[in-house]
A and B are shown apart, each in its own frame.
Chain A
Amino acid sequence: MRSATPWSDVFSFLLEATGETLYMVGVSTVIATVLGVPVGVWLQLTAKGGLRPNTAVHRILSFVTDLGRSMPFIVLLVALTSVTRLIVGGSIGSTAVIVPLAVGAIPFVGRLVQNILSEVHVTVVEAAITTGASTLRIVRSVLIRESLPALINAIGVTVIALIGYSAMAGVIGGGGLGDLAIREGYQRFNDRILWSTVAWLAVLTTVIQLGFTRAARASDRRRHASV
Chain B
Amino acid sequence: MITVENLTKSFQGVSALNGVTLDVEAGTVLGVVGPSGAGKSTLARCVALLERPDSGAIRVDGTDITSLDGSALRAARRQIGVVPQGDSLLRQRTAAGNIALPLESAGIPGPQRRTRVGELLDLVGLTDKAASYPDQLSGGQRQRIAVARALAANPSVLLADEPTSALDPETTGSVLTVLDRARAELGVTVLVVTHDMGVVRKICDDVAVLEQGRVVEHGKVLDLVNDVASRTSSALLPAVDLNPINESSYDRVADVVLVGFAAVGALLPEAAHRFGVELNIVGGGLTRLGETPVARFRLGLNGERSDSALEWIGEAGGSVQRSLKGPQGVAA
Q: Do A and B interact with each other, yes or no?
A: yes
- Report the minimum CB–CB distance from A225 to chain B (whole Å): 4
Given contacts A141-B104, A146-B92, A148-B92, contact A224 B135 (CB under 8 A): yes
* One of A123, A130, A221 near B133 (C-beta < 8 A): A221
- The answer to the question of B50 belonging to the interface, with a C-beta cut-off of 8 Å to chain A, is yes
Residue of A nearest to B88 (CB): A127
Across the interface, do A130 and B48 meet the contact criterion of CB distance under 8 Å? yes
Residues of A in contact, count (CB < 8 Å): 26
Q: Which residues of B contact A137 (CB under 8 A)?
A: 104-105
A27 at the interface (CB under 8 A from B): no
Contact assessment for A128 and B101 in the assembled complex, using a CB-CB cutoff below 8 Å: yes
Closest B residue, CB atoms, query A138: B105
Give Cα distance in the complex from A99 to B92, angstroms: 35
A126 at the interface (CB under 8 A from B): yes
Q: How far is the CA of A142 from the CA of B89 in the complex (A)?
A: 10
| A120–B84 alpha-carbon span in the complex (Å) | 16
Let me know if A204 is at the binding interface, CB within 8 A: no
Q: Is A207 an interface residue (CB 8 A)?
A: no
Segment touching A, from B13-21, B71-79, B174-182, B225-233: B71-79
Q: How many A-B residue pairs have CB under 8 A?
A: 92
Binary interface profile of B, 154-165, with partner A (CB < 8 Å = 1, else 0)? 000000000000
Nearest CB of chain A from residue B55's CB, rounded to whole Å: 22
**Known contacts A129-B77, A130-B50; is-contact A123 B101 (Cβ 8 Å):** no
Q: Report the Cα distance A130→B78, complex, angstroms.
A: 7
Which residues in chain A, 193-227, are within 8 Å of chain B measured between CB atoms?
219-222, 224-227
Asked if B149 is at the interface of the complex by the 8 Å CB criterion, the answer is: yes
Per a CB cutoff under 8 Å, which of A124, A129, A226 touches B90? Answer: A124
User: Cβ of A146 and Cβ of B78 under 8 Å apart?
Assistant: no
The closest CB in chain B to the CB of A128 belongs to B101
Question: Which residues of chain A are near B81, meaning CB under 8 Å?
Answer: 130
Q: When chains A and B are docked, how far (Å) is the Cα of A224 from the Cα of B271?
A: 64
A132 and B84 within 8 A (CB) = no
Q: How many angstroms from the CA of A221 to the CA of B136 in the assembled complex?
A: 10
Would you call B259 an interface residue if the criterion is a C-beta within 8 Å of the partner chain's C-beta atoms?
A: no
Q: Given A134-B105, A137-B105, A225-B136, verify A126-B88 contact (CB < 8 Å).
A: yes
- Per-residue 0/1 for B140-174: is the Cβ within 8 Å of any A Cβ (1 yes, 0 no)? 00000010011011000000000000000000000
Q: List 4 tightest A-B contacts by C-beta distance, closest first.
A: A127-B88, A131-B102, A130-B82, A225-B135
A contact residues vs B (CB 8 Å cutoff) = 121, 123-124, 126-134, 137, 141-142, 145-146, 148, 219-222, 224-227
What are 26 inter-chain pairs, A to B, with CB distance below 8 A? A123-B87, A123-B88, A124-B89, A124-B90, A126-B48, A127-B89, A129-B77, A130-B49, A130-B50, A130-B77, A130-B80, A131-B77, A131-B102, A132-B75, A132-B102, A133-B101, A134-B74, A141-B101, A145-B92, A146-B91, A146-B92, A219-B92, A221-B92, A221-B94, A224-B135, A225-B133
